[in-house]
Structure 1
Protein backbone atom coordinates (compact mmCIF):
# COMPACT_ATOMS: atom_id res chain seq x y z
CA UNK A 1 0.00 0.00 0.00
CA UNK A 2 2.81 2.36 0.87
CA UNK A 3 4.59 1.75 -2.45
CA UNK A 4 1.38 2.41 -4.37
CA UNK A 5 1.05 5.77 -2.60
CA UNK A 6 4.64 6.67 -3.33
CA UNK A 7 4.17 5.72 -6.99
CA UNK A 8 1.05 7.88 -7.26
CA UNK A 9 2.84 10.86 -5.73
CA UNK A 10 5.85 10.37 -8.03
CA UNK A 11 3.63 10.16 -11.11
CA UNK A 12 1.68 13.27 -10.16
CA UNK A 13 4.89 15.22 -9.57
CA UNK A 14 6.29 14.09 -12.91
CA UNK A 15 3.05 15.08 -14.62
CA UNK A 16 3.14 18.50 -12.98
CA UNK A 17 6.72 19.06 -14.08
CA UNK A 18 5.85 18.08 -17.65
CA UNK A 19 2.93 20.52 -17.66
CA UNK A 20 5.16 23.38 -16.49
CA UNK A 21 7.77 22.58 -19.12
CA UNK A 22 5.07 22.45 -21.79
CA UNK A 23 4.25 26.10 -21.14
CA UNK A 24 6.82 27.97 -23.15
CA UNK A 25 7.61 31.57 -22.45
CA UNK A 26 7.19 34.06 -25.22
CA UNK A 27 10.29 35.77 -26.51
CA UNK A 28 9.06 39.08 -25.09
CA UNK A 29 8.73 37.58 -21.61
CA UNK A 30 12.25 36.18 -21.76
CA UNK A 31 13.56 39.56 -22.88
CA UNK A 32 11.73 41.38 -20.07
CA UNK A 33 13.06 38.96 -17.44
CA UNK A 34 16.59 39.21 -18.80
CA UNK A 35 16.47 43.00 -18.98
CA UNK A 36 15.03 43.28 -15.47
CA UNK A 37 17.67 40.92 -14.10
CA UNK A 38 20.40 43.06 -15.62
CA UNK A 39 18.83 46.20 -14.17
CA UNK A 40 18.63 44.63 -10.71
CA UNK A 41 22.26 43.52 -10.91
CA UNK A 42 23.37 47.03 -11.94
CA UNK A 43 21.36 48.57 -9.08
CA UNK A 44 22.93 46.12 -6.61
CA UNK A 45 26.37 46.97 -7.95
CA UNK A 46 25.71 50.69 -7.43
CA UNK A 47 24.31 50.07 -3.96
CA UNK A 48 27.29 47.99 -2.87
CA UNK A 49 29.73 50.56 -4.21
CA UNK A 50 28.17 53.25 -2.01
CA UNK A 51 26.23 55.22 -4.63
CA UNK A 52 23.17 56.88 -3.11
CA UNK A 53 19.65 56.11 -4.29
CA UNK A 54 19.35 59.70 -5.48
CA UNK A 55 22.47 59.35 -7.65
CA UNK A 56 21.26 56.00 -8.99
CA UNK A 57 17.94 57.62 -9.98
CA UNK A 58 19.84 60.40 -11.74
CA UNK A 59 21.83 57.81 -13.72
CA UNK A 60 18.60 56.13 -14.80
CA UNK A 61 17.22 59.47 -16.00
CA UNK A 62 20.18 59.90 -18.36
CA UNK A 63 19.76 56.48 -20.01
CA UNK A 64 18.01 56.34 -23.39
CA UNK A 65 15.57 53.39 -23.24
CA UNK A 66 14.22 51.62 -26.32
CA UNK A 67 10.75 50.93 -24.88
CA UNK A 68 8.45 53.31 -23.03
CA UNK A 69 7.91 51.02 -20.02
CA UNK A 70 11.60 50.57 -19.29
CA UNK A 71 12.33 53.85 -17.45
CA UNK A 72 9.62 53.39 -14.79
CA UNK A 73 10.42 49.69 -14.47
CA UNK A 74 14.11 50.51 -13.96
CA UNK A 75 13.16 53.06 -11.30
CA UNK A 76 11.01 50.51 -9.48
CA UNK A 77 13.64 47.78 -9.62
CA UNK A 78 16.29 50.20 -8.36
CA UNK A 79 14.05 51.36 -5.50
CA UNK A 80 13.37 47.78 -4.43
CA UNK A 81 17.03 46.89 -4.65
CA UNK A 82 18.03 49.81 -2.46
CA UNK A 83 15.22 49.06 0.03
CA UNK A 84 16.47 45.48 0.39
CA UNK A 85 19.01 44.60 3.06
CA UNK A 86 20.63 42.11 0.70
CA UNK A 87 24.41 42.23 0.37
CA UNK A 88 24.57 39.52 -2.32
CA UNK A 89 26.87 39.94 -5.28
CA UNK A 90 25.26 41.46 -8.40
CA UNK A 91 25.57 38.19 -10.35
CA UNK A 92 23.59 36.33 -7.67
CA UNK A 93 20.93 39.04 -7.81
CA UNK A 94 20.77 38.74 -11.60
CA UNK A 95 20.30 34.98 -11.44
CA UNK A 96 17.73 35.13 -8.65
CA UNK A 97 15.72 37.88 -10.35
CA UNK A 98 15.69 36.02 -13.66
CA UNK A 99 14.60 32.72 -12.10
CA UNK A 100 11.84 34.38 -10.06
CA UNK A 101 10.63 36.35 -13.08
CA UNK A 102 10.48 33.25 -15.28
CA UNK A 103 8.70 31.32 -12.53
CA UNK A 104 6.15 34.14 -12.22
CA UNK A 105 5.57 34.32 -15.99
CA UNK A 106 5.09 30.55 -16.27
CA UNK A 107 2.70 30.49 -13.31
CA UNK A 108 0.64 33.28 -14.87
CA UNK A 109 -0.04 31.24 -18.00
Structure 2
Protein backbone atom coordinates (compact mmCIF):
# COMPACT_ATOMS: atom_id res chain seq x y z
CA UNK A 1 0.00 0.00 0.00
CA UNK A 2 2.84 2.39 0.83
CA UNK A 3 4.46 1.75 -2.54
CA UNK A 4 1.18 2.53 -4.29
CA UNK A 5 0.72 5.77 -2.35
CA UNK A 6 4.31 6.77 -3.06
CA UNK A 7 3.82 6.20 -6.79
CA UNK A 8 0.56 8.20 -6.75
CA UNK A 9 2.33 11.04 -4.95
CA UNK A 10 5.14 10.87 -7.52
CA UNK A 11 2.64 11.12 -10.36
CA UNK A 12 0.95 14.12 -8.76
CA UNK A 13 4.30 15.86 -8.37
CA UNK A 14 5.11 15.16 -12.02
CA UNK A 15 1.80 16.65 -13.14
CA UNK A 16 2.35 19.73 -10.98
CA UNK A 17 5.84 20.09 -12.42
CA UNK A 18 4.52 19.88 -15.99
CA UNK A 19 1.88 22.49 -15.25
CA UNK A 20 4.52 24.81 -13.82
CA UNK A 21 6.69 24.29 -16.91
CA UNK A 22 3.76 24.96 -19.21
CA UNK A 23 3.10 28.25 -17.43
CA UNK A 24 6.79 29.15 -17.67
CA UNK A 25 6.78 28.73 -21.46
CA UNK A 26 5.98 31.62 -23.74
CA UNK A 27 3.11 31.28 -26.18
CA UNK A 28 5.59 30.87 -29.03
CA UNK A 29 7.46 28.10 -27.19
CA UNK A 30 4.18 26.28 -26.52
CA UNK A 31 3.23 26.55 -30.19
CA UNK A 32 6.62 25.30 -31.38
CA UNK A 33 6.59 22.37 -28.93
CA UNK A 34 3.00 21.54 -29.90
CA UNK A 35 3.85 21.66 -33.61
CA UNK A 36 6.92 19.44 -33.16
CA UNK A 37 5.03 16.96 -31.03
CA UNK A 38 2.35 16.72 -33.73
CA UNK A 39 4.99 16.03 -36.40
CA UNK A 40 6.53 13.32 -34.18
CA UNK A 41 3.12 11.71 -33.55
CA UNK A 42 2.30 11.70 -37.28
CA UNK A 43 5.68 10.14 -38.06
CA UNK A 44 5.15 7.46 -35.40
CA UNK A 45 1.70 6.69 -36.78
CA UNK A 46 3.12 6.33 -40.28
CA UNK A 47 5.98 4.15 -39.02
CA UNK A 48 3.65 1.84 -37.09
CA UNK A 49 1.35 1.63 -40.12
CA UNK A 50 4.20 0.37 -42.29
CA UNK A 51 4.63 3.52 -44.40
CA UNK A 52 8.24 3.88 -45.54
CA UNK A 53 10.42 6.80 -44.50
CA UNK A 54 10.74 7.70 -48.18
CA UNK A 55 6.96 7.97 -48.59
CA UNK A 56 6.61 9.97 -45.38
CA UNK A 57 9.35 12.37 -46.48
CA UNK A 58 7.69 12.77 -49.88
CA UNK A 59 4.40 13.63 -48.15
CA UNK A 60 6.20 16.22 -45.99
CA UNK A 61 7.83 17.70 -49.09
CA UNK A 62 4.40 18.45 -50.56
CA UNK A 63 3.13 19.97 -47.32
CA UNK A 64 2.91 23.73 -46.82
CA UNK A 65 4.71 25.17 -43.80
CA UNK A 66 4.21 28.59 -42.23
CA UNK A 67 7.91 29.27 -41.61
CA UNK A 68 10.97 28.35 -43.70
CA UNK A 69 12.70 26.47 -40.85
CA UNK A 70 9.72 24.15 -40.33
CA UNK A 71 10.30 21.93 -43.39
CA UNK A 72 13.82 20.82 -42.48
CA UNK A 73 12.90 20.52 -38.81
CA UNK A 74 9.96 18.28 -39.73
CA UNK A 75 12.32 16.11 -41.80
CA UNK A 76 14.68 15.82 -38.83
CA UNK A 77 11.92 14.93 -36.38
CA UNK A 78 10.52 12.37 -38.81
CA UNK A 79 13.89 10.76 -39.44
CA UNK A 80 14.63 10.52 -35.72
CA UNK A 81 11.23 8.98 -35.13
CA UNK A 82 11.80 6.36 -37.83
CA UNK A 83 15.32 5.59 -36.53
CA UNK A 84 13.97 5.01 -33.03
CA UNK A 85 13.10 1.47 -31.98
CA UNK A 86 10.12 2.80 -30.06
CA UNK A 87 6.77 1.09 -30.62
CA UNK A 88 4.85 3.50 -28.39
CA UNK A 89 1.50 4.79 -29.55
CA UNK A 90 1.53 8.16 -31.33
CA UNK A 91 -0.26 9.85 -28.40
CA UNK A 92 2.54 8.79 -26.04
CA UNK A 93 5.16 10.02 -28.50
CA UNK A 94 3.33 13.35 -28.77
CA UNK A 95 3.22 13.79 -24.99
CA UNK A 96 6.85 12.75 -24.51
CA UNK A 97 8.07 15.07 -27.26
CA UNK A 98 6.12 18.00 -25.83
CA UNK A 99 7.40 17.39 -22.29
CA UNK A 100 11.02 17.14 -23.41
CA UNK A 101 10.67 20.19 -25.66
CA UNK A 102 9.24 22.18 -22.73
CA UNK A 103 12.06 21.04 -20.44
CA UNK A 104 14.60 22.07 -23.07
CA UNK A 105 12.99 25.50 -23.55
CA UNK A 106 12.96 26.16 -19.80
CA UNK A 107 16.54 24.94 -19.35
CA UNK A 108 17.74 27.04 -22.28
CA UNK A 109 16.91 30.28 -20.45
Counterpart Cα distance in 1 of 2:82 and 2:73:
14
Q: Could you tell me which residue of structure 1 aligns to residue 97 of structure 2?
A: 97
Instruction: Work out the CA distance in 1 between the residues paired with 2:107 and 2:49.
Output: 35
TM-score normalised by length of structure 2: 0.78
Tell me which structure has the larger Cα radius of gyration.
1
How far apart are 1:38 and its partner, in Å?
A: 0.3
What does the per-residue CA deviation read over 1:76-95, in whole Å, with 9 as the maximum and x for residues that have no partner?
00000000000000000000
Ranges in structure 2 where 5+ consecutive residues have no aligned partner: 1-16
> Could you tell me how far apart the structure 1 residues matched to 2:74 and 2:107 are?
23
How many aligned residue pairs are there?
Answer: 90
Q: Which runs of 5+ in 1 are unaligned?
A: 1-16
Distance 1:25 1:35 in 2: 14
Determine the C-alpha separation between the residues in 2 that align with 1:25 and 1:33. 10
Which residue number in structure 2 is paired with residue 30 of structure 1? Answer: 30
Correspondence for 2:74:
74
Which runs of 4 or more aligned residues in structure 1 lie more than 3 Å from their structure 2 counterparts after TM superposition? none
In the aligned structure 2, how far is the partner of 1:77 from the partner of 1:61? 14
Q: Is 1:45 aligned to residue 45 of structure 2?
A: yes
* Structure 1 length-normalised TM: 0.78
